[in-house]
Chain A
Amino acid sequence: MSPKEPVKREAFQKVRRSWLLVPASNPERVNTAHLAGADVVVLDLSELVGEADKPQARSTIEASIQQVKNGGAEVFVQVDPELVYADLQASVWPGLAGIIISQVESPQQVEEASQLLYRLEEERGLLPHSLEIIAALETAQGNHQGHQIALASQRVWGLTLGRADLVMDLRPEPSGEIHMMQYLMQRLITLSNAVGAVPLGAWWREPDRGLLATTENTYTTGFRGRSIGFKGSMCINEEQVGPLNQAFTPTDFEVSTAGSLLDAYREGVAQGMAAVRWDERIIDRGTALQAQALIDLGAACSLRDEAKAAALEGRPVPVP
């Protein structure tokens, strides 16, 4: 296994702040998914779909991909690693951006999925190696093997803890923090960045557990998540999409502050300085680069929002 290339910064400019999970077996949810404003819609074939409904759900994926994509969202399918052959056969069609492998536990599972994707890309006229993989580390074994899993394929674009709190049975402590989650989040964020993948998630705290959180608390949770390094988060309720988009978008204040900071830095650099005093702070190259990244992200978010709006209204979609 060869190490990945150095961090691909452009990966971060794929703006994927909100990932709306919809059971592929539920046509009402699928039909309205593109109206929710999510950057990504995830058609779920794993845990949200009962065993008996899976064949029927798989048969709808091809049409659902087009429908959701026309509404402006990117489309991922969440697959079950135990049923990866059937799930991928049903899912790899033009328009698909990638897959989420739920409860992934070993690098072999990622390699297998990756090889299968390659074959299906070829058979069905998709660009080779174009489909991305998000590895959902939802079990102890998956987290333990997280680094190897992330390195198992060049396709791994992101990592998430998914529904680890439910799968691993992690419950609130008296402080409100979910047991073990601070450790698992920090670990996931660190190893994602170490391999050039994007960490996805939000910092949930009692009384808010994903599915049942109010819109206000979803915003807070997403904002806390962005503060520790997450770039976007999954959700199940359509009402949670807006708060997540907002939480993972730099605020106007942040963008304008970053602008003033950069101005001061550039002025200093022009005068031959390496670092400048700005307000109460010292601004050096690292701080300036971070400010520039924030401004870039803000611009990318605006562009993404315009593209979604254009798609919904049937206008031509702006291209960066």
Chain B
Amino acid sequence: MPPVNRDRKVRRSGLTMPVVTPRFVDNAWRRGCDFINLDLEDSVPQNLKGYARRLIKDAIPNVSKGGAEAFTRINHDLVEADLEAIVWPGLSKVNYPKAEYAWEIEKLDRIITRLERERGIRPGTVEIGANIETAVGVANAYEIASASPRVREFGGATGYDMSRDLGVEMFVGFDQFVYGKGETELATRALNLELHTAPFTANTTGSVSDPDRAYQEAEAARKCGLRVGGGLHPNVVDPQNRGLTPTDEEVAEARSLLEQYRKLASSGQAWTEIEGTVIDRHAADRAEELLEWHRLCQERDLEKAEAVARVEREPG
């Protein structure tokens, strides 16, 4: 396992929302999200694209004042105009839908690099989220993921657009995306990027707002060692924050396992088995990652709580 990345971002929960809907945008800071994804793409009607774009600059500080990171999802076919309007201080990531070729990411990188320079943003701040949502994207996954150092998180190859592109059913009781998910995940791991994927859980309803389901999915992800979430409805934010944060019990187990591993290693042994659990270098790496992730989650929660308190103290 690669060494623990100490600059790792905590992105357990996040809401994607049309930037043109004030009641979503104005309340976003209260939702407890790790990130807010301001959408210019599929949730914004064609005739409002220009108007939507002009809202981003003010929306960034608005949605992030409660401690969330601010992202923007741009339109696949409106890259230049969208980027000009959105790359401002406070933006953490540009999500680029239906990424299909490495050159697309290289182009985004060049424009973002220029805008960072022109607008006083530290070079390399703005990430690129290369969303894999088509068969072509899957076929070029490794090249896309390695096209720019701004791509720090990768995965996907599931969801509505993917199912439409492949002509497969969205809500079935089996995993219809085994191959595409595998391709993007292998690229992510080979390049040592943060993995954004989910274990398969049967979903036959497509509900975006069921908190119990959101918690079960988040918990399944956490148990698989996966760390990244996000959704569309405020109901799922808290379940994702909880479900993707290690429990006290897991933290205690990880500490005890590391203790046992240290004893084992100091006696020169490579592995042992205690009560049905294998203890070796890999189990120790896994325990260390969990403790580090738990620490980052706690820091993130504190950061958000302080930000919210600051806003609430402000007059008016």
Q: Which residues of A come within 8 Å of B, CB atoms?
A: 23, 47-53, 140-141, 143-144, 163, 166-175, 177, 179-180, 182-184, 186-187, 209, 211-212
Contacts and interface: CB of A to CB of B under 8 A. Distances in A.
Nearest to A183: B182
Interface of B: 1, 142, 175, 178-179, 181-183, 185-190, 199-202, 216, 220, 223-225, 265, 268-271, 273, 276, 278, 280-283, 285-286, 289
Contact of A48 (B183, B199, B270): B270
A144 B187 contact: yes
A23 B187 CA distance: 33
A174 B199 contact: yes
A140 B188 CA distance: 9
20 contacts: A23-B270, A48-B270, A48-B271, A53-B268, A143-B186, A144-B187, A166-B282, A168-B189, A169-B225, A169-B285, A169-B289, A171-B223, A174-B220, A175-B175, A175-B200, A180-B181, A182-B178, A182-B182, A183-B182, A212-B273
A49 B270 contact: yes
A209 to B, nearest CB: 8
**Residue of A49, A167, A180 with highest tally of chain B CB at under 10 A:** A180
Nearest to B281: A47
Nearest to B276: A212
Q: Which 7 A-B pairs have the closest CB atoms?
A: A183-B182, A140-B189, A173-B199, A52-B268, A144-B190, A140-B190, A50-B270
B276 A173 contact: no
Contacts of B202: 175
Nearest to A167: B282
A140 B268 contact: no
Nearest to B182: A183
Contacts of B286: 169
Given A48-B271, A140-B190, A144-B190, A173 B182 contact: no
A211 B220 contact: no
Given A143-B186, A184-B182, A212-B278, A167 B1 contact: yes
Contacts, number: 90
**Residue of A163, A172, A174, A177 with highest tally of chain B CB at under 10 A:** A174
Contacts of B283: 166
A183 B189 CA distance: 14
Nearest to A184: B182
B182 A51 contact: no
A183 B1 CA distance: 19
A92 to B, nearest CB: 23
Nearest to A48: B270
A28 B113 CA distance: 62
A185 to B, nearest CB: 10
Given A180-B182, A212-B273, A169 B268 contact: no
B178 A173 contact: no
A1 B285 CA distance: 37
Contact of B185 (A48, A167, A180): A180
Given A184-B182, A212-B273, A166 B190 contact: no
A140 B183 CA distance: 11
Contacts of B281: 47
Nearest to A145: B190
A1 to B, nearest CB: 20
A152 B269 CA distance: 33
A167 B188 CA distance: 16
Contacts of B182: 180, 182-184, 187
Contacts of B223: 171-172
Given A173-B201, A182-B175, 5 more contacts: A48-B271, A167-B1, A168-B189, A171-B225, A186-B179
Contact of A171 (B190, B200, B224, B270): B224
A312 to B, nearest CB: 29
Contacts of A211: 273, 278
A180 B190 CA distance: 14
Contacts of B271: 47-48
